[in-house]
Amino acid sequence: MAPGFVSDPIFFTASALVLALALVRLFAKTWERRRSRKYHPVAGTVLNQLLNFGRLHHYMTDLAGRHRTYRLLGPLRSEVYTSDPANVEYMLKTNFENYGKGWHNYTILKDLLGDGIFAVDGDKWRQQRKVSSYEFSTKVLRDFSSVVFQRNVAKLANILSEAASANQIVDIQDLFMKSTLDSIFKVAFGVELDSMCGTSEEGAEFSRAFDDASAMTLWRYVDVSWKIKKFLNIGSEAALKKNVRIIDNFVYKLIRRKIEQMHNSTDNTSMKKEDILSRFLQVTETDQTYLRDIILNFIIAGKDTTAATLSWFIYMLCKHPTIQEKVAREVKQMSNVKEISDFSSCAASMGEEALEKMHYLHATITETLRLYPALPVDAKICFSDDVFPDGFNVREGDMVSFQPYAMGRMKFIWGDDAEDFRPERWLDSNGVFQPESPFKFTAFQAGPRICLGKEFAYRQMKIFSAVLLSCFTFKLADAKKPVNYRTMINLHIDGGLPVSITRRYES
């Protein structure tokens, strides 16, 4: 037999030994590396979130006060929560590609939001972002939406004026929800819903179903048994399914009507440019499910966020009457409204030029968003092992969230008066608004996925508040009743905001 290495027992044993040693060293090194990795402190478990569900953001703020970044352990994954601006910048911008909605968020959000911009990553996101950003930057949309906001706030002022005459208490949050729903429907889909004046029972049913479905979708983040419930069609999942059916019926009807209008229109070119839905219809007319998803995402973006912020804004002004007066004085001065003859002409005086001069109003809205951000927590999934700027590791599959609500209350970010409502913190010595880093003031997110409707939202909120504060003063109907949020995707006031209204003008 020819001498062969394999048949030599000494050589064989030596090779096996070397290989075994190399494997042991590799294993030891990997183990050592793993062991020496530092992870953010564990502050509790997701069970604690469940137990604190009704006061979830208070609970998370308490934890953030103890650890800038912390972990909560869960049965399936670890959850990392950060309020550190350096970490936020890293995940939203520096290493953007490594943090996204991921499969986890997608499965939770899918039943309500489908494949809409809020739920997806990658090409689906890029395509919707591109078309929507173009639409939002056009002057046509800006001018058209301002007119819609002015018309809707004039309607709202009429309702409030009647309530003032009758000494009636109104739920201002409910009215804001309806008027912003009307506005977004008109701007995005060219449809007059008129839910504010109550002419559409169907619209009211849709709005209710949408709110409930949004609360049940958020519940999935803390309810580990949601998939079983969905399979068995029981409890919150059965209710979610029912609400989604109401939403779908409404939206599909809207899409079919729009397609019909487009087909019947003789002047097809102008028809196609009219609203955001028409624009998307040009891209993907046949896929109605995809259109349904796009629509619902715009509704959730445009309705709840703005209405909730306006409600907290009025709440803050009721708690701080001197600030309410100061805003009203600035609005009067900058808009040149001498007396209120009718609400439509008052609204028409809130043009872009006048609004731009209202720095104190801008600061007061921004201060509201600092303490009451419409999206209190924002979760991403980490796609591969990573190290945050604070030196701690995050693992592939971890859910990583930044927390606008908790961040707005952190002394290490805003100073000792972090919890005080103080619009002046946003103004320089000449009273000019000074923006903050979006990684510190995270209400609109930051980086490539920063809110697309930020300018749109500010314009709507400024037009609404300028008109309402020119015409009325607001007081809490019951100053002793505690005001809290309802835990859901957006930060709504639980049970609404009942206020009494007095006219600022002679009737």
**Is residue 305 close enough to count as binding ligand HEM by CB under 6 A?**
yes
Check residue 309 for interaction with ligand HEM (CB under 6 A): yes
Burial 39-72 (b: 16+ CB within 10 A, else e): ebeebbbbebbeebeeebbebbbebbeebbbbbb
CA 32 to chain centre: 41
Residue 372 or 472 with smaller CB distance to ligand HEM? 372
382 is in an annotated binding site: no
In this complex, which beta carbon is closest to ligand HEM, that of residue 43 or of residue 443?
A: 443
Q: Which is nearer to ligand HEM, 61 or 305 (CB)?
A: 305
Structure tokens at 157: 């002022």
Site string for ligand HEM, 172-211 (x = CB under 6 A): ------------x---------------------------
Per-residue mark of binding to ligand HEM, 369-398 (x: CB under 6 A): x----xx--x--------------------
**Residue 226 binds ligand HEM, judged by CB under 6 A:** no
Chain residue at closest Cβ approach to ligand HEM: 453
117 binds ligand HEM, rule: CB under 6 A: yes
Distance CA 212, CA 425 (A): 36
Which C-beta is closer to ligand HEM: that of 360 or that of 405?
405
Element (H, E) at 175: helix 172-189
Q: How far is residue 422's CA from residue 428's CA, in Å, rounded to a whole number?
A: 13
Euclidean distance between CA atoms 400 and 102, whole angstroms:
11
For 122, half-sphere exposure in the C-beta direction (CA atoms, 13 angstrom radius) is 7
- Report in angstroms the alpha-carbon separations of 344 from 161, 457, 463, 469: 13, 20, 12, 14
The answer to whether 276 and 135 are in contact (CB under 8 A) is yes
Check if the beta carbon of residue 455 is closer than 8 Å to that of residue 354. no
Site for ligand HEM in 398-457 (CB under 6 A): 443-445, 449, 451-453, 456-457
**Cβ nearer to ligand HEM, comparing 89 with 237:** 89
Cβ proximity to ligand HEM: between 262 and 451 the closer is: 451
Residue written as token pair 């930044």: 402
- Nearest distance in Å: CB 298, ligand HEM: 6
> Of the candidates 100, 302, 408, 496, which one interacts with ligand HEM according to CB under 6 A?
302
Residues engaged in binding ligand HEM (CB under 6 A): 117-118, 129, 132, 184, 298, 301-302, 305-306, 309, 369, 374-375, 378, 443-445, 449, 451-453, 456-457
Task: Detail the residues annotated as belonging to a binding site for heme.
Answer: 451
Residues making up the binding site: 451
